[in-house]
């Protein structure tokens, strides 16, 4: 009798092990827009590396840059992750905004004046609330990284006042708040994916664009004629590490913690790289760009205020759409930073 019990127990253990092993995929597909050496791609790779190491090879993440799993349409990334077409993503708040309106918070014009303001949001009660909202929309958010403060560049003219934007054809990302802002400032915004933006800049189909300086510099945008850069810090897009709900549920709680902590650690590294050369203490990336013959304009407070004023109606309208409570909380968190 004891013998049979032992055999049955052994078979049951084997079956359980097999069941767990079957639930884990050989590879988990992680979507990003840009690869390394952009800070965004480095953050994703670091996540994969730390996860493989700490799970002793149980969990293998493979990065799919260029949002190739959704044919380059970054505005569909969140939906694809929710549906399981994508297992995981390191995604920009901008690209998930079409599905999660509240993420437009980070695209509110001139809400966050500096890195401390950005940190006050992601690392405080606003960040917690945003994670609850992402979770309720069907994916499990784990940690933050950073694309960065988005600066405006163009091939035609130095931009110091809203009037300088008049008639400029600028590529903007796929959330309507961007079209609203640039229209309010008198520019001629045209919405297109990142995949389409690069040829449009190369051929001169558009005059300019807005993106963090890390993106500008890795792509050598000065060689594409983007020789006017204005540092206005009007919005910044953080990145969120997230996992499809079913995929998350398939992991043991030990492995869930490994994945979460790896994302937190990779995010910290990603943020450090995203800010390198762009802080008060270290302006080396800005100097480097200047050294290439690019006119890099820093606005005076009064000059900046003119852009704030021009976009204020957009701010007010989007405050309602995003939710006045959340925006109030964000304003308070920034005031107390
Ligand atoms: O499309 C962009 O401009 C980019 C790369 O910054 C994002 O994915 C938001």
State pLDDT tens for residues 194-249.
999 999 999 999 999 999 999 999 999 999 999 999 999 999 999 999 999 999 99
Per domain, the residue ranges of the chain are 26-335
CA distances to 57, 130, 136 from 100, in Å: 33, 9, 10
Q: So what's the architecture of 26-335 in CATH? A: 3-Layer(aba) Sandwich (3.40)
Q: Is the CB of 33 under 6 A from ligand 1?
A: yes
Compute the distance from residue 251 Cα to the ligand 1 centre, in Å.
31
Which tens digits make up the pLDDT trace of 296-313? 999 999 999 999 999 999
Rounded to whole angstroms, the Cα distance separating 178 from 107 reads 8
The token pair that represents 25 in the structure block = 């995929």
Q: Is the CB of 237 under 6 A from ligand 1?
A: yes
Q: Is the CB of 173 under 6 A from ligand 1?
A: yes
Residue nearest to atom 2 of ligand 1 (CA): 194
Residue nearest to atom 8 of ligand 1 (CA): 33
Average of pLDDT values for 5-14? 51
ipTM value: 0.99
Which tens digits make up the pLDDT trace of 18-28? 445 448 999 99
The token pair that represents 97 in the structure block = 């905004």
Q: Is the pLDDT of residue 103 over 80?
A: yes
Closest CA to 191 of 94, 82, 114: 94
Q: Is the CB of 194 under 6 A from ligand 1?
A: yes
Pocket test for ligand 1, best of 77, 92, 189, 200 (most atoms within 8 A of CB): 92
Q: Is the pLDDT of residue 14 over 60?
A: no
Rounded to whole angstroms, the Cα distance separating 192 from 213 reads 19
pTM of the shown model: 0.94
Which tens digits make up the pLDDT trace of 23-43? 899 999 999 999 999 999 999
Q: Which atom of ligand 1 is nearest to the CA of 94?
A: 9
Q: Which atom of ligand 1 is nearest to the CA of 33?
A: 8
């Amino acid at each position: 009798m004891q013998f049979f019990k032992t055999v049955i127990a052994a078979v049951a253990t084997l079956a359980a092990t097999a069941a767990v092993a079957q639930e884990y995929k050989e590879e988990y597909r992680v979507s990003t827009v840009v690869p390394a050496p952009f800070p965004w791609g480095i953050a994703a790779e670091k996540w994969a590396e730390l996860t493989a190491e700490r799970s002793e090879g149980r969990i293998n993440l493979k990065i799919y840059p260029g949002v190739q799993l959704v044919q380059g349409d970054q505005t569909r990334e969140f939906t694809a992750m929710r549906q399981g077409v994508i297992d995981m993503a390191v995604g920009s708040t901008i690209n998930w905004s079409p599905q999660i309106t509240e993420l437009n918070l980070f695209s509110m014009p001139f809400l966050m004046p500096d890195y401390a303001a950005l940190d006050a949001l992601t690392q405080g009660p606003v960040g917690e609330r945003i994670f609850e909202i992402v979770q309720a929309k069907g994916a499990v958010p784990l940690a933050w990284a950073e694309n960065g403060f988005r600066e405006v560049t163009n091939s035609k003219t130095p931009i110091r006042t809203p009037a300088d934007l008049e008639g400029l054809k600028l590529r903007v990302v796929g959330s309507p708040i961007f079209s609203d802002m640039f229209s309010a400032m008198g520019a001629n915004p045209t919405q297109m994916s990142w995949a389409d933006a690069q040829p449009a800049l190369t051929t001169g189909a558009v005059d300019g664009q807005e993106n963090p300086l890390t993106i500008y510099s890795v792509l050598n945008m000065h060689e594409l004629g983007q020789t006017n850069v204005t540092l206005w810090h009007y919005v910044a897009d953080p990145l969120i590490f997230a996992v499809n709900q079913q995929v998350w549920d398939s992991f043991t709680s030990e492995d869930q913690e490994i994945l979460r902590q790896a994302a937190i650690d990779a995010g910290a590294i990603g943020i450090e790289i995203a800010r390198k050369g762009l802080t008060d203490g270290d302006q080396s990336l800005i100097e480097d760009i200047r050294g290439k013959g690019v006119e890099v304009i820093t606005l005076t407070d009064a000059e900046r205020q003119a852009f704030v004023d021009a976009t204020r109606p957009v701010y007010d309208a989007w405050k309602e759409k995003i939710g006045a409570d959340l925006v109030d909380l964000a304003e308070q968190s920034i005031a107390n930073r």
